Amino acid sequence: MKPSVLLATATTPDGSTLTLHRRDGHYHLRVGGLGLMSTTATGSEMQLAELACERLGATAGGRVLIGGLGLGFTLRRVLELAPGDVTVQVAELMPEVVSWNREHLRDVNGGLLDDPRVEVLVADVVGVVTDAAPGSWDAVIIDVDNGPFALVDHGSGRLYGVPGLRAVARALRAGGRAVFWSAAPDPAFLHRLAAAGFRATAVAAKAYPTAKRRSHTLFVADRHG
């Protein structure tokens, strides 16, 4: 096995070290030395998009918000599944992650950032949904930190608490859908989604298609109306 090559380093708002590595042709994002995501395990990221796009159907002029760019696999799947006139906004807190996608990951999914359907917002997704007009999006996809379970950055808790979830609900059109990625099941999060006005279910997901177990959890939350 070839050694891991460090490509880039950045500091997160809470002072942790975020790094991008390449090994054996695959790319890995790490926080504080711990694996965050990689191109070897993208199944649940793409399933996020699939669940969100179920509600889009053939609706003309659909609007989707993705919270967290990561390695771009959720963005790729949305663009594959959504109608051709969809508008996809991607809110990414770390400008370095956007730059790394354009520079180091262009041949992975970084080139999609130049797709005319895509708008990149270098911003905290919490602020984006809080400041949005009611009914701004048909679907909201959230893949921030480890999800509501075992947060690395405790500031992310603003998004996964009831006030943050109510902001997401308000920013969705009536009948819209939000889908949240989580590293593990979290029954308390289902209760918070219900308190915020969602009909919510938890879906177990595989990290990659041949995985023997479903190690991740996707929370599907439909807005009433």
Q: What is the mean pLDDT of residues 73-81?
A: 96
At 164 the pLDDT is: 95
At 1 the pLDDT is: 62
User: Whole-angstrom Cα distance, residue 14 to residue 156?
Assistant: 10
The domain limits of the chain are 41-223
- The CATH number that domain 41-223 falls under is 3.40.50.150
Q: List phi, psi (to 5°) of 115.
A: -65, 135
Tally the residues of the chain.
Answer: 225
Q: Is the dihedral of CA 60, 164, 29, 54 positive or negative?
A: negative
Does pTM surpass 0.75?
Answer: yes
* 143 counts as catalytic: yes
User: Whole-angstrom Cα distance, residue 107 to residue 67?
Assistant: 22
Give the E-state strand segments of 39-171 in sequence order.
Answer: 63-67, 87-92, 118-122, 137-142, 145-148
* Identified catalytic residue from 138, 143, 145, 186: 143
Contact 52, 24 (CB under 8 A): no
Which amino acid, one-letter code, is at 96? E
Each residue's pLDDT tens digit, 107-137: 999 999 999 999 999 999 999 999 999 999 9
Using a 10 angstrom Cβ sphere, with 0-12 exposed, 13-18 middle and 19 or more buried, the burial of residue 91 is buried
Each residue's pLDDT tens digit, 176-199: 999 999 989 999 999 999 999 999
DSSP assigned state of 104: T
Per residue, the 3-state secondary structure of 138-189, as one string, reads EEEEECCEEEECCCCCHHHHHHHCHHHHHHHHHHEEEEEEEEEEECCCCHHH
At 202 the pLDDT is: 97
Confidence of residue 59 (pLDDT cuts 50, 70, 90): low
- In order of 35, 125, 140, 149, 160, the CA distances from 153 in angstroms are 14, 14, 21, 11, 12
Output the average pLDDT for the chain. 92
